Amino acid sequence: MARNQWAGLEQDLAGASNSPLNILIARDEDIERASRSMKAMSHPLRLKILCMLGDRECSVQDIVEQVGTSQSNISQHLAILRDKGILMCRKDANRVYYRVGDARTLRLIEMMQDVFCTRNL
């Protein structure tokens, strides 16, 4: 981006002091939390798990079968997503089920798909 384009962007940001982005920037703990969550979602296998889950609830075994790697590998990645609050889980007898914990996370994933994924028409 050329310098004069940056100047315009800086003016736009300065004039929008109540914009959601400026509010986020003002709170370091929010920036840190968002950064940790985005980092957790950015791993290719974890992103694949999130895309596969969508708005459904699936057992660990279902995730293993659909993603195509070992159960121990999937379990490690599920734990990271769960610990960051991205996934929720519940136990039913000897099965563990996972789902995306917040519908806004699904919207974020959908936006990433729209921006970065090619579609065959």
- Give the per-residue pLDDT at 114: 87
Write down the pTM of the prediction.
0.74
Residue 68 tokens, joined: 């195509």
Looking from the CA of 42 toward its CB, the CA atoms found within 13 Å total: 6
CATH of 44-121, one of 3.10.450.50, 3.20.20.10, 1.10.3720.10, 1.10.10.10: 1.10.10.10
> pLDDT of 65-107, one tens digit each?
999 999 999 999 999 999 999 999 999 999 999 999 999 999 9
How far is residue 34's CA from residue 43's CA, in Å, rounded to a whole number?
Answer: 15
Measured on CA atoms in the order 83, 38, 52, 88, is the torsion positive or negative? positive
- Give the per-residue pLDDT at 1: 47
- Domain(s) of CATH 1.10.10.10: residues in the chain: 44-121
Taking 50 as the threshold, does the pLDDT of residue 55 lie above it?
A: yes
How far is residue 12's CA from residue 17's CA, in Å, rounded to a whole number?
Answer: 9
> pLDDT of 12-49, one tens digit each?
555 555 666 666 566 788 888 888 999 999 999 999 99
Closest CA to 53 of 88, 84, 80, 85: 88
